[in-house]
Amino acid sequence: MRTLDCFKAYDIRGELGVTLTDDIAYDIGAAFAHCLSARTVVVGGDCRESSGPLKAALSRGLVDMGVDVIDLGMCGTEEIYFATEHLGVDGGIEVTASHNPINYNGMKMVSAGSRPLIPDAEMAAIKEVAEKRSFVMAAQKGAIRPMDIRKAYANKICSFVDPIKLKPLKILVNAGNGAAGPAFDEIAKQLAAAGAPLEFIRMDHEPDGTFPNGIPNPLLVENQPRTSAAVVEHGADFGVAWDGDFDRCFFFDNHGEFIDGYYIVGLLAQQALLAHEGATIIHDPRMIWNTQEIVAELGGVAAQTRTGHSFMKAEMRKQNAVYGGEMSAHHYFRDFMFCDSGMIPLLMVAELISTTGIHLADLISGRKAKFPASGEQNFTISDPTAALKNVETALASEAIEIAYSDGLSMDFGDWRLNLRPSGTEPLVRLNIESRGDPVLVQNRLAHVISLL
């Protein structure tokens, strides 16, 4: 039996022509229909040149299983999440490789209600059926019909802020030539119609699958200077850059400084708790102290779960959490089907700046000083398990707490680390934070890297 290596922990990612082909996409579509007993599925794709053919093959697999396909065309992942719930269909699939290199693509899948697929159950079942091709074609094929739900989607996004509270702000938005531009334009149009006095400076706004300005991955240090310089050049109050399918957004302050997603989680948790007193906030285990302190001070409940959208969404649903945040810039909202959005955070930060009158740099600076962090460091390591064990063995005698819920977490009182294999890429990711001691962060970072 063949093995489909494009199936990852909670998504599909593969190298084009190697681990992901049109034929494999067809089999995934058929397996998805088989395992979920789906009758209607919504599909879409990002602007990569490979996404159209893959989406067409995926749709054929669904249609041959008797599934009716609603095709949103080029769209972002969160538009698929919205449409799946809004249209009451049995599932949704976005063809996207997000921030991966141009020779990759993949899929993000949800079931009815935009519920994430269970990694060890539903995802595993789809993988097995696709590998064995153990599906039986329907006697009657389904049909494909295009649909535009963008206005309804944008209306939902705009509902997360009160336009009356917004003050005149200049915001730079960098779509990275990904799929974000057209969706953002509809959001901006509706905000303007509601009287929001926001001015937007658009950058790399037109979708272009060749990515002439580089892969839309704002986490890459080499990709940040252009956005940073544009924020300063235009005198923007802040800047936002999206990844390719815009389910993540990255912030730059009014000085053009890139803001680690960890601190944005704290800001959005604050916003959520001011609107929902005593609510539960979900966070990932990579860096935690800043979020936990903010939530405690505002009377909320902070709960930790594994990194990855499937785990975050499942825990949010379990605890009915109002907001969930990952330091990787995934932000999840109860009132958005417990799903992640790269557009909602922009509006919430704009509202926070408007209501407080405080620049984004000043909102963040105190938190960075109190809980300085290393930023995520990535390493390609042939044996991640051995690497984690080596670090644990070397540092265990100093630790006051060791946890294994998501990779390796070690708490030393005045600093802590999390070291975990990536769920989507062949990398080991390291994060270190301290209590008010940036020098300690750098010293401990250098030491852990030497152990790796």
pLDDT tens-digit profile, the chain (452 residues) = 689 999 987 899 999 999 999 999 999 999 999 999 999 999 999 999 999 999 999 999 999 999 999 999 999 999 999 999 999 999 999 999 998 899 999 999 999 999 999 888 999 999 999 999 999 999 999 999 999 999 999 999 999 999 999 999 999 999 999 999 999 999 999 999 999 999 999 999 999 999 999 999 998 899 999 999 999 999 999 999 999 999 999 999 999 999 999 999 999 999 999 999 999 999 999 999 999 999 999 999 999 999 888 889 999 999 999 999 999 899 999 999 999 999 999 999 999 999 999 999 999 999 999 999 999 999 998 888 889 999 999 999 999 999 998 999 999 999 999 999 886 667 899 999 999 999 999 999 999 999 98
CATH topology of domain 377-451: TATA-Binding Protein (3.30.310)
What is the DSSP pairing of strand 68-74 with strand 40-45? parallel
Give start and end residues of each alpha helix (H) in 194-288: 224-234, 261-275
* CATH number, span 12-148: 3.40.120.10
What is the DSSP pairing of strand 280-283 with strand 323-325? parallel
Give whole-number Cα distances, 45 to 96, 107, 126, 339, in Å. Answer: 6, 9, 20, 18
Measure the CA–CA gap between 259 and 26, rounded to whole angstroms. Answer: 40
Measure the CA–CA gap between 280 and 269, rounded to whole angstroms. Answer: 9
Three-state DSSP class for residue 194: coil
- How high is the pLDDT of residue 382? 85
Measure the CA–CA gap between 253 and 199, rounded to whole angstroms. Answer: 16
User: Where are the chain's structural domains?
Assistant: 12-148, 152-370, 377-451
Measure the CA–CA gap between 25 and 333, rounded to whole angstroms. Answer: 30
Measure the CA–CA gap between 85 and 64, rounded to whole angstroms. Answer: 24
For residue 263, what are the contacts with CB-CB under 8 A and spacing of at least 6? Answer: 290, 364, 367, 368
Tally of CA atoms within 13 A in the half-sphere of 260 that contains its CB: 23
- Nearest 5°: the CA angle 241, 204, 342 is 30
Measure the CA–CA gap between 29 and 10, rounded to whole angstroms. Answer: 16
Work out the burial of residue 89: count CB atoms within 10 Å of its CB; fewer than 13 is exposed, 13-18 middle, 19 or more buried. buried
Give whole-number Cα distances, 59 to 42, 64, 216, 219, 283, in Å. Answer: 9, 8, 26, 32, 35
- How high is the pLDDT of residue 149? 98
Q: Say which amino acid occupies 222.
A: E
Q: Which residues of 124-160 are buried (b: 16+ CB within 10 A; e: fewer)?
A: ebbbebbbeeebeeeeeebebeeeebbeebbebbbeb
Full-model pTM? 0.94
Measure the CA–CA gap between 161 and 325, rounded to whole angstroms. Answer: 18
Q: Which of 50, 51, 59, 98 is catalytic?
A: 98
Active site residue 98: yes
Per-residue tokens: 157: 């996004």
- How high is the pLDDT of residue 424? 63
Per-residue tokens: 372: 């300085």
- How high is the pLDDT of residue 423? 67
Domains 152-370 and 377-451 share a fold: no
- How high is the pLDDT of residue 308? 85
φ/ψ of 389, rounded to 5, equals: -65, -40
Q: Which CATH number is correct for 152-370, 3.40.50.620, 3.40.50.1000, 3.40.120.10, 3.40.630.30? A: 3.40.120.10
